[in-house]
Amino acid sequence: MQPLRFENKTLLVLDQTRLPNNIAYLKITRHTELIDAINKLCIRGAPAIGIAAGYGIALGARHIKKGNMREFLEELEILTKNITSTRPTAYNLFRVASTMRAVANRAANPVQAKNLLMQEAVKIHNDQCELDLTLSRNGSALVEDNASILTHCNTGRLATGGYGTALGVIAYAHRQNKKIKVIATETRPLLQGARLTALELREAGIPFHIITDLMAGHLMQRDRINMVITGADRIAANGDTANKIGTYSLAILARQHNIPFYIAAPSSTFDCETKTGKDIVIEERSPEEVTHLMGTPITTPQAQAFNPAFDITPSSLITSFITEKGIIPPGEVCRLNNI
Ligand code: MRU
């Protein structure tokens, strides 16, 4: 089950809003269709959004009619900004946008730019698979035999287009026969854990239990969790990490119970230009995602709701970052070219 496939000049996007019950692919040929798919979370997870953005920019470029390079680049910039404005926290989106800009700027004319952009989009996709596998192997070294691992949100193939980050580490450890067990939070409000992580764990044959988000503290207090591994949407230069709402609470609970708390992320999620977590924009999504559950109202129609999609875990609560470049302590990210 691939979240993204590029075939016959069309981007096929697995509609993750319909999982686990339906497997349906959207056929995307224009960047405007991709923007809609990202906004609705048909494609989600920072690395997968980045890959999708690469294809979206390349597809959008193909429809630019201007023969003059300056006008071509101006139109490309407008459509690129429209794509990056979809999910402000996911750093991979911005990193891919700047890579694609640089590629277009190197071209001699729009025809060459269109070809180079498409080649780059494919390369970004292939590179992600490599990064994921290496970071998963690195992270697996931290997993002990018979470990019970808590994870949050969805960080597998569906979220990265590759092997996964936190879930990649878990899958790698399982492949090494470490006899692990997974506790996956359901991840309110949109249930990425219950809907997507459960599906991926089942497909990989990894034993797991789903819990509601607020059960984590109890399980930690009863010694039923040995380590926590989550992914990240953006990591600031000081190691403060934006990830799915609820990650911060899990990190505090882990600290209280002396449980190691790891963030697994490729170097493409590290934003060394942003100094601390305070400078990271947190995406606010529609209140309806909180007042409704899978489309059904669960509160009084008069209820207002907050819906921050992410929170910031301070670097002081993070044991280490698991990356393709190795295991990096929080104080050392963005230093000595290690990211
Ligand atoms: O809102 P989502 O589903 O895009 O949020 C996804 C997450 O928060 C993931 O944990 C994160 O992107 C890391 S994915 C490898």
pLDDT tens sequence across 63-109: 999 779 999 999 999 999 999 999 999 999 999 999 999 999 999 99
The whole-number pLDDT of residue 76 equals 98
- Mean pLDDT for 228-238 is 98
Span 183-199, pLDDT tens digits: 999 999 999 999 999 99
Domain count, the chain: 2
| Residues 44, 125 within the same domain | yes
Q: Is the CB of 189 under 6 A from ligand 1?
A: no
Of all atoms in ligand 1, which is nearest to the CA of residue 152?
10
Nearest to 9 by CA among 47, 45, 63: 63
Burial class (CB in 10 A: 0-12, 13-18, 19+), 231: buried
Distance 191 CA to ligand 1 centre (A): 12
Handedness of CA 99, 104, 107, 113 (dihedral sign): positive
Average pLDDT, the chain: 96
Question: What CATH code is carried by the domain that includes residue 11?
Answer: 1.20.120.420
17 pLDDT higher than 70: yes
| Residues 158, 67 within the same domain | no
Task: Name the domain boundary from 89, 108, 133.
Answer: 133
Distance CA 155, CA 168 (A): 8
DSSP state at residue 309: S
Q: What percent of the chain has pLDDT over 90?
A: 96
Q: Is the CB of 73 under 6 A from ligand 1?
A: no
The whole-number pLDDT of residue 66 equals 75
The count of other CB atoms within 10 Å of the CB of residue 10 is 15
Distance CA 247, CA 245 (A): 6
| Residues 215, 251 within the same domain | yes
Of all atoms in ligand 1, which is nearest to the CA of residue 167?
15
302 pLDDT higher than 60: yes
Q: Is the CB of 50 under 6 A from ligand 1?
A: no
Distance CA 176, CA 96 (A): 33
Distance 156 CA to ligand 1 centre (A): 10
Q: Is the CB of 234 under 6 A from ligand 1?
A: no
- Report the residue among 153, 228, 307, 321 best suited for mutation to probe ligand 1: largest number of ligand atoms under 8 A from its CB: 153
Containing domain of residue 204, as a range?
142-338
Res. 335 pLDDT band, cuts 50 70 90 = confident
Q: Is the CB of 155 under 6 A from ligand 1?
A: yes
| Residues 207, 277 within the same domain | yes
Q: Which protein residue has the closest C-alpha to ligand 1 atom 12?
A: 45
| Residues 24, 99 within the same domain | yes
| Residues 155, 286 within the same domain | yes
- SS3 of residue 148 by DSSP: strand
Q: Is the CB of 44 under 6 A from ligand 1?
A: yes
Asked if the bond preceding 20 is cis, omega within 30° of 0, the reply is yes
Distance 63 CA to ligand 1 centre (A): 30
| Residues 279, 159 within the same domain | yes
Distance 45 CA to ligand 1 centre (A): 4
Distance CA 276, CA 312 (A): 10
Span 304-325, pLDDT tens digits: 999 999 999 999 999 999 999 9
Span 255-282, pLDDT tens digits: 999 999 999 999 999 999 999 999 999 9
- Mean pLDDT for 130-137 is 96
Span 29-43, pLDDT tens digits: 999 999 999 999 999
| Residues 157, 305 within the same domain | yes
Task: Name the domain boundary from 72, 102, 133.
Answer: 133
Q: Residue 61 is encoded by which pair of tokens?
A: 């470029």
Q: Is 233 among the catalytic positions? A: yes
| Residues 78, 161 within the same domain | no
Task: Name the domain boundary from 105, 133, 161.
Answer: 133
Distance 75 CA to ligand 1 centre (A): 30
Q: Is the CB of 45 under 6 A from ligand 1?
A: yes
Q: Is the CB of 160 under 6 A from ligand 1?
A: yes
The residue behind tokens 């092997």 is 163
211 pLDDT higher than 80: yes
C-alpha of 131 from chain center: 13
Of all atoms in ligand 1, which is nearest to the CA of residue 164?
15
Q: Residue 185 is encoded by which pair of tokens?
A: 């939070």
| Residues 80, 199 within the same domain | no
Distance 233 CA to ligand 1 centre (A): 6
Distance 74 CA to ligand 1 centre (A): 31
| Residues 111, 32 within the same domain | yes
Of all atoms in ligand 1, which is nearest to the CA of residue 87?
4
Res. 336 pLDDT band, cuts 50 70 90 = low
The whole-number pLDDT of residue 333 equals 92
Of all atoms in ligand 1, which is nearest to the CA of residue 264?
15
- SS3 of residue 279 by DSSP: helix
Distance CA 230, CA 243 (A): 8
Q: Which protein residue has the closest C-alpha to ligand 1 atom 5?
A: 45
Question: What CATH code is carried by the domain that includes residue 273?
Answer: 3.40.50.10470
Q: Which residues contact 122 (CB under 8 A, 6 or more apart)?
A: 6
Q: Which protein residue has the closest C-alpha to ligand 1 atom 6?
A: 45
The whole-number pLDDT of residue 67 equals 78
- SS3 of residue 301 by DSSP: coil
Of all atoms in ligand 1, which is nearest to the CA of residue 309?
1
- Global pTM reads 0.96
C-alpha of 205 from chain center: 22
State the amino acid at position 222 in one-letter form. Answer: R
| Residues 177, 232 within the same domain | yes
339 pLDDT higher than 70: no
How do beta strands 208-211 and 181-185 pair? parallel
Distance CA 323, CA 134 (A): 8
